[in-house]
Amino acid sequence: MLGQLVLWVKIANEASCGSPRWIGRGLSCVCIKRKGAYERICMNLTPVQEERLQRLKHRMKVYFDPSRRDHQEALKALWHATYPDQELQGLVSEQWKDMGWQGRDPSTDFRGAGFISLENLLFFAKTFSASFQRLLKKQCGNRATWEYPFAVAGVNITFMIMQMLDLQSTKPRTFIRAIFLQMLSEDEWAFDLLYCVAFVVMDKQWLDKNASYMDFNEVLKSTRTQLERELMLDDVMRIEDMPSYSLLC
């Protein structure tokens, strides 16, 4: 049943926050009310936004290649960041199942989101190690008998964020994308930070709903809704301003 997890995660693009009614109307800027005043959200990208968006798009297009040395090293780095006191027996090993991969070879689980999903997990492990370990070990709350597999859930979260932000489209189609691009111009690691927030939000939703394995898709949908709601808040100008950012430690 683990092999079906990625296939269940289908989130419709129309489930996004904000109105996309201005699509195709040739508008270069729209206004939304934030902090009690109207703020311009421009569709024409600044040079910094364009550069960082193209760099992020490139990351999103890279498939995991088990034959590449740098990809192998990144996978090893994830293991050592996750289990610093345990020696890795090999890139194909029963040990990987302990992290929540579906089989002995984690490279087969990256098909849905590519190499960036490994980068996201590694960023989470290194930047917020306490939160990463807490979620990995399912240390908080009343857990289900059938828990979500940690690593595979992480790959699905990357894919969900990619859909939500709609970064591969040639023209912006949602306010969420436009707002995120402003955040990206302030912090090149905005995508990775949003990933970490999304993971802790997903786990909180999981516990709040008393969810079990079969509920994963529904929990991920509600996670996306929560992220979109927070990104649209008046006082949220950076990922660090999101209320759920406080869940990280």
Question: Looking up tokens 């996978």, which residue turns up?
Answer: 75
The total number of structural domains that make up the chain:
1
- Residue 164 is part of which domain span? 47-247
| 4 within some domain | no
- Asked whether residue 71 carries a pLDDT value surpassing 90, the answer given is yes
- Asked whether residue 90 carries a pLDDT value surpassing 50, the answer given is yes
How many angstroms separate the CA atoms of 165 and 194, rounded?
11
Q: What 8-state DSSP symbol labels residue 168?
A: T
pTM: 0.84
Q: Which H/E stretch holds residue 31?
A: strand 29-34
Mean pLDDT (the chain) is 85
Condensed to tens digits (0 to 9), the pLDDT of residues 227-242 reads: 999 999 989 999 999 9
| 75 within some domain | yes
End-to-end Cα spacing for the chain = 32
Three-state DSSP state, 16: coil
pLDDT band at 29 (very low <50, low <70, confident <90, very high): low
| 24 within some domain | no
| 203 within some domain | yes
| 18 within some domain | no
CA 177 distance to own-chain centroid: 14
